[in-house]
Amino acid sequence: MPKTDFGPPDYREMIPPIVAENYGKWRYHTIPQPGVLKHFSESGVVLTSVRVASPRLVSTDFVREICDIADAYCDGHVRFTTRHNIEFLLSDESKVESLLEELAAKDYMVGGVGHAISNVVHTQGWIHCKSAVTDASGLVKCVMDELQDYYVGKRSVPARLRIAVACCVNMCGACHSSDIAIVGIHRTLPRVDHEMASKICEVRSTVASCPTGAIRPNPKLKSIDISDEKCMYCGNCAAVCPAISTMDPDGDGVSIWVGGKVSNARTTPKLTRLAIPYLPNNPPRWPEATEAVKHLVEVWAEGAKPGERMGEWIDRIGWERFFQVTGIPFTDKHIDDFSHATTTFRATTQFRF
């Protein structure tokens, strides 16, 4: 096949020799301490991985430092997990202790393995995306400041805990499949600068960008009109036409969703469901959203059986009881009356039509 300059590279070119040599031979793993995994191969080889948290948006200096650590302890082998934990892969067990000492000296958080909170994934936020309601990375920092004990193993949770933040409902992060998701929401109709739209917007593609058919051409103004009845405030149109603005400091906020998971273990993979429709978007520390997430984790940790993910716990106790035990008010916003709701009613990823 011809070599192209796009798409992911072939993973086989990058895996450490110890993994390549033992491919398909790994028998089991143990977790001797928080953040440390030992993988045992049927050939007798042991691979140790040491996991640390990352802020996901990182500087060049930070990447250089990770590479230097990997060069010193892991023959240069390091990987990022799907939730952007950094994993140092050691084939030489004698180096594990000194690696842990160096990581502690450099204030890395070691943990996130097994029944623990993993690294919090998030979308681009104000730093990059023009649809962003909120600053995803700032919100993650505040949430993780509260929950870091669950990462490093000082406090335990009944099962894996995945948290994600998306800064708008387009949710280009993993929010639909996380135990707890924080999603930024616009709540007011996008504003159109007709004069600018007539000069720089392509009407047809702007109309086509709307998933609910809320945009119609306005031939008189050579612009577009948006129907408040049909608009769900997703902000998609603003990404296509710069003359449309969705930002509203007073109306915008964050919502909290619960119960998603990717895993097939015990039950089918699940999509998240709306738990809290609106909280203020309150930088720089987002106290309302942070407190709500912490509360959900604590109530779940107290009520769930060992191994029970948040969605499984909710299914066992029932959606109604979930609102009782968490003290979250059930409102009309929890009732899905969207015209395409027959598909969104489903809380599993396994669709059948």
Cβ burial 297-316 (10 Å sphere, 16+ → b, else e): bebbbebbeeebbbbbbbbe
- The CB-of-129 to ligand SF4 minimum distance in angstroms stands at 3
- The CB-of-234 to ligand SF4 minimum distance in angstroms stands at 4
Cβ neighbourhood burial of 29 (10 Å; 0-12, 13-18, 19+): middle
**Minimum CB distance to ligand SF4 smaller for 40 or for 126:** 126
**Minimum CB distance to ligand SF4 smaller for 134 or for 290:** 134
Q: Cα-atom radius of gyration of the chain, to the nearest Å?
A: 23
- The CB-of-339 to ligand SF4 minimum distance in angstroms stands at 12
**Minimum CB distance to ligand SF4 smaller for 192 or for 296:** 192
Distance CA(192)–CA(150), nearest Å, equals 45
**Minimum CB distance to ligand SF4 smaller for 233 or for 257:** 233
- The CB-of-294 to ligand SF4 minimum distance in angstroms stands at 23
Q: Parallel, antiparallel, or unpaired: how do β-strands 191-192 and 244-245 relate?
A: antiparallel
**Minimum CB distance to ligand SF4 smaller for 168 or for 271:** 168
**Minimum CB distance to ligand SF4 smaller for 271 or for 314:** 271
**Minimum CB distance to ligand SF4 smaller for 133 or for 161:** 133
Distance CA(272)–CA(267), nearest Å, equals 14
Distance CA(245)–CA(150), nearest Å, equals 39
- The CB-of-123 to ligand SF4 minimum distance in angstroms stands at 4
Binding site for ligand SF4 (CB under 6 A): 123-124, 129, 131-132, 166-168, 170-172, 190, 209-210, 212, 214-215, 226, 231-237
DSSP state of 17: H
- Beta strands per DSSP E along 259-353: 273-280
**Minimum CB distance to ligand SF4 smaller for 47 or for 140:** 140
- Name the residue among 7, 9, 90, 100 with its Cα closest to residue 52: 100
- The CB-of-137 to ligand SF4 minimum distance in angstroms stands at 11
- The CB-of-157 to ligand SF4 minimum distance in angstroms stands at 26
Q: How would DSSP label each residue in 61-111?
A: HHHHHHHHHHHHHSTT-EEE-TT--EEEEES-GGGHHHHHHHHHHTT--B-
- The CB-of-132 to ligand SF4 minimum distance in angstroms stands at 4
- Name the residue among 236, 244, 233 with its Cα closest to residue 195: 244
